[in-house]
Amino acid sequence: MSKKIFLAFTVVMVVISGTCIYSIVSGAKKELARLRKIQAKITDESYDEPAITPAATPAPEADTDDTSAQREEKTAITKNQKYYTGITDTGDRNVLLIGKDPAYSNYDTMIIVSINEEKKSVRLIDIPRDIYIDYSPDLLKELKKKAPQFYSEKGSRKINAAHAFGRMLEYSPDNARFPGKPGINFLTDLIYEIFAVEIDDYIAVETDGFREIVDFFGGVVIDVPMYMHYEDPTQDLYIHLEPGIQRLDGRKAEGFVRFRQGYTRDGKYITCSRADNTFLFFKSFFEQHVNLKNLNKIGKIYEIVKRNTETSVGNISETYEYAVLARKIISEGYSIEHVSVKTEGKKTFNGALYELLKTE
């Protein structure tokens, strides 16, 4: 199954959940203010309710005081591997969405959701899973000592294995952003070092709820761009879609977002962009189902998402902060943009094929 589209669903569900929470909390605030004013009149005391402005989740104090040079020195994960251009803006809220591979330990998908309130935009930044990471000699030496089997493992230098790299090293930086999560801390520090993107929170997603969510919403209407025919019994994957506008249920939607190669009616082999299919599906789903009318479905949606996610957003204040942001995304019509991280060329190392990141 395409993990990317379930990640997209997670964004959608967080938005809907956040809107519901926003409504509940706002109502509670108003009621609390009313009761306090009544109490103030009874006790002949004046009361002015302070304004409540959700603040960003604070970064560790040491990070706040660090200079850029100190931060780079603290991470020292790569041999100065830097992406050739910026991909986010100052002040963006950046959430890392992770799609877990159900069969292997590597992450199948990594997407940075970058939210800019000033521009009223949401960027979905797709990080290719096979990017080669040019780790520093010191880290490689330490890894070889602590985990020689993983050091020699095929694909261990890919970015989708970075979290496992961090766990093997027992990575524990000072003032870790995510306490008790060596793999996540290593991956997010690596992202900062390469892409200069500070990750505020993360959501790790299992993929089992995809079909259930699509069917729960009654499917999604999509204009299928081409005849899609592909079968792979080993994956229990059977894709048979006619071109044209149609409503896709959960199983057909899975086929749509997974399709990347197949045959035309006359037997001609074709390929297409799975990322394009995913974005088209996400856009259609968002337009058709992300609205205030669907708030009454929040209980069931929450159950489905909770069974399939792990997140750093863990307390009331953080949840409320995202709720306020979600309300803005819906009510103010934020634009949604799909951004792909660029690579240039490929490399074979230790039997694995890597993509080379476009660097400075």
> Could you report the per-residue pLDDT of 198-210, keeping only the tens digit for each?
999 998 876 666 7
CB within 8 Å of 190: residues ≥ 6 apart: 75, 77, 78, 133, 159, 162
pLDDT at residue 84 tops 80: yes
pTM over 0.75: no
Quote the pLDDT of residue 207.
Answer: 60
Percent of the chain with pLDDT over 90: 39
Sorting pLDDT into bands at 50, 70 and 90, what band is 298? low
Percent of the chain with pLDDT over 70: 70
Quote the pLDDT of residue 3.
Answer: 42
The CATH number of 3-24+72-207+305-357, from 3.90.76.10, 3.30.420.590, 3.20.20.140, 3.30.470.20, is: 3.30.420.590
Angle, in degrees to the nearest 10, between helices 162-169 and 137-146? 70
pLDDT at residue 325 tops 70: yes
Looking up tokens 């008790």 gives 180
pLDDT at residue 147 tops 70: yes
Quote the pLDDT of residue 255.
Answer: 84
Q: Which of 129-133, 258-262, 300-304 has the lowest average pLDDT?
A: 300-304
Question: How does 328-348 read in b/e, with b if 16+ C-beta sit within 10 Å?
Answer: bbbeeebebebeebebeeeee
Looking up tokens 């071109």 gives 243
Q: Which two tokens stand for residue 231?
A: 């079968």
pLDDT at residue 71 tops 60: no
CATH 3.30.420.590 range(s) for the chain read 3-24+72-207+305-357
Amino acid at residue number 106:
N
pLDDT digit string (tens) for 102-128?
Answer: 555 788 778 899 999 999 999 989 898
Check residues 234 and 321 and name the one with the higher pLDDT: 321
Quote the pLDDT of residue 294.
Answer: 66
Amino acid at residue number 256:
F
Amino acid at residue number 141:
K
The C-alpha atoms of residue 142 and residue 169 are separated, in whole angstroms, by 7
Check residues 304 and 228 and name the one with the higher pLDDT: 228
Angle, in degrees to the nearest 10, between helices 3-42 and 250-258? 120
